[in-house]
A and B are shown apart, each in its own frame.
Chain A
Amino acid sequence: MDNEQDKIWDLLGSLRPIEPSSNFNALFWEKVRAKEEEVLSRQPVFVFPRLERRLAYALASVVIIIGLTFIFQIKQEKQLSNLAHTFKNAEEMEMVRHFDVLKDLEVVQNLELLQDYEVIENIDETADI
Chain B
Amino acid sequence: MLSLFKKYIDDPDVQLMLKCQKDDKEAFEQLLDKHKSMVINIIYRFMADKNEAEDLAQEVFLKIYTSRHNYKPKAKFTTWVFKITANLCLNHIRNTKKYTSQTISMDETSEQKEEHPAQQFEDTKQAKPNEALLKKELEEVVREAIQSLPPNQGMAVILRRYQDLSYEEIAQTLHCSVLSVKALLFRAKENLRRKLKNYI
Interface residues of A (CB under 8 A from B): 4-5, 7-9, 11-21, 24-25, 27-28, 31-32, 35
Residues in A neighbouring B162, C-beta threshold 8 A:
12, 15, 17
Hey, which chain B residues are within 8 Å of A4, CB to CB? 193, 197, 200
| Nearest B residue (CB) for A17 | B41
Q: How far is the CB of B70 from chain A (nearest CB, A)?
A: 15
Q: Could you mark each residue 177-200 of chain B with 1 if its beta carbon is under 8 Å from any beta carbon of chain A, else 0?
A: 000000000000100110011011
Bound together, the chains give a CA A5 to CA B160 distance in angstroms of 14
A15 touches B143 (CB 8 A): yes
**Is the Cβ of A25 less than 8 Å from the Cβ of B139?**
no
Name the A residues within 8 Å of B54 (CB-CB).
Answer: 20-21, 24, 27
Q: How far is the CB of A44 from chain B (nearest CB, A)?
A: 21
Q: How far is the CA of A20 from the CA of B58 in the complex (A)?
A: 11
Bound-state CA distance A9–B200 (Å) is: 10
Given A8-B193, A8-B196, A20-B36; A14-B58 close (CB under 8 Å) = no
Which residues of A sit under 8 angstroms from B189, Cβ to Cβ?
5, 8-9
How far apart sit A17 and B139, CA to CA, in the bound complex (Å)? 11
CA distance A7 to B143 in the complex (A): 16
Q: Can you name 18 A-B pairs with beta carbons within 8 Å?
A: A11-B196, A14-B135, A15-B142, A15-B146, A15-B162, A18-B41, A20-B36, A20-B37, A20-B54, A24-B40, A24-B54, A24-B57, A24-B58, A25-B29, A25-B32, A28-B62, A31-B58, A35-B62
Contact A18 B40 (CB under 8 A): yes
In the complex, chain A residues whose CB is within 8 Å of the CB of B142? 11-12, 14-15
**Residues of chain B within 8 A of A15, CB atoms compared:** 45, 139, 142-143, 146, 162
